[in-house]
Structure 1
Amino acid sequence: MSFNQAAEELNVTPGAVSRQIQSLEHYLGKPLFHRHHKRIELTAVGRQYYAEISTSLEKIAAASNRIRSEPRRDKISICAYPTFAIRWLIPHWPALYKAFPGLDIQLTTSLNPADFEQAGFDISIQVLPDGETKKGFVIDKLLDVITYPVCSPELADRVSGPQDLEAVTLLHESPRPTDWPRWLKTAGITTLNPNQGLNFESNDMALHAAREGLGVAIAIDALVQSEVRSGHLVRLFDVSRRSRFPFQLVSPARSANDPTVRALRAWLVAEGEKSNRASQ
């Protein structure tokens, strides 16, 4: 029965409380208070309205207090491809921990699809068709997959055009065996055997071999941006290929609805958008 005390509790001005009451009365089409000099009292409609809504208001307050008192989730498990973890996630780790201090992020690497039921992962980073949906899962695009050839600065001096690839060693990676054939097709090169050269068990190993001058590898732009900027790797040619299978964040709905997981996913997506904007 005091706009002043209500204003103090809500940390607003008495005038703001009065305006909200007037707005509510206008909406209901009935007065809720009799306004006397220095005091107010509920009208009959006001008393009835309060009696009917007070239980709901109490439930809202109780639910809010319960959520506020629950301990914050402090552990999240992520499954990612080894090369992706090494070349994108780990470099983002300092900023991630600054954004989520005290959060225990357990990172597992695997080339196989995440087993959400057995391993209980909250987030998996997978290469999936753009726009993919799965019942019971939440999927968001994280990074575009844009590929092009890279090599060491020394080798780059010997490669002036795509035709010069016939005189160098092509470096392949087992998890993505179609990258070279697809890029060569995009570039319109039909005279080169796309399967010749050296094979490595991971993209990271192939890129290390390229950096050491062993040959030319196919790189995913988002995973080599820093090395290209520093000059340790050189991008060859202006031809790039955008895959229809980007890196995507996948979470079972039970995890995706958790506030901490949802916040972490949003942070990762925002960082991914930065990498996408920086793509050449």
Structure 2
Amino acid sequence: MKQGEFLVIDPDSRLTQLGLLPISTSDEYLFFPSREFGAATNASLADLVSSWLDVLFGHEEKILPGLSLLSDDLQVADRVANQLKRTAARPVVTINFGVGGNDLKRAGDHFEKSLVGGLVRGGATVILDKGAGEEEAARADAVIREALAENCAARAVEADEESIESLIRSNDLSSTDLFVWRGRIGLLAALIGRSDLYIGYDSAGQHIAAALGVPCIDVFAGFSSPRMLDRWRPTGVAASRVIAVERSLGRDGEEKALAETMEWARTFLRDEDNHS
């Protein structure tokens, strides 16, 4: 694009907070004051940006987050979802327990194992992302073992970039209860977009779901203040729910978060079934 045909809006991110990288010339650059604008409200950052744009451009128009995905990833996700839903009208729930190395964001091992096992027992097909790194992969393996031990008839299939095409061609996903994904976030995003519900910790996944119009449950632990729950609430056309994990309660807090998450999952999936 030519100069004068675009604007660069700095969302007050880590990229520019240190002032080390120039973004653009001053004529093409705007700074979103995320700490000052709407400071007295409990609006999400997405809603604040929309309101700020109203003030900036002088007219009201609700702007929601959006996401553009690669067409190849969308096609693969469509084929996977069609097979997962083929044998029965089962809802598909995508789950990611990644926390970017910050264990304070986790609800706990019991929460993760019980959530996946409970959803499978309840008749859902679960897409479980193994996350990034050896530690998250090991935790995911423990969740998978527990889910299969509790549900003896359940079947798990693991896929990555190299194996997913052959699995689709062999029609090997139609009787899968637990589809385990190990690969790029772009294809994970496409899988989220073909799901009936997304559940995850405070990370990128819930915002991807919101941007794609997928209902989501954001399990929020390790927050420094209640304001974080408001500001980082996923915002989109679909419904979302933030579950605050009360870590000070120990195991009781974990159990409470699990019960709330399962209840909201049933509610969202029931609503999706009624609208389908």
Structure with the bigger RCO (C-alpha within 8 Å, sep 6+) is 1
Same fold, TM exceeding 0.5? no
Band of TM-score, shorter chain: under 0.3
Counting strand residues as a fraction of each chain, which structure ranks higher? 1
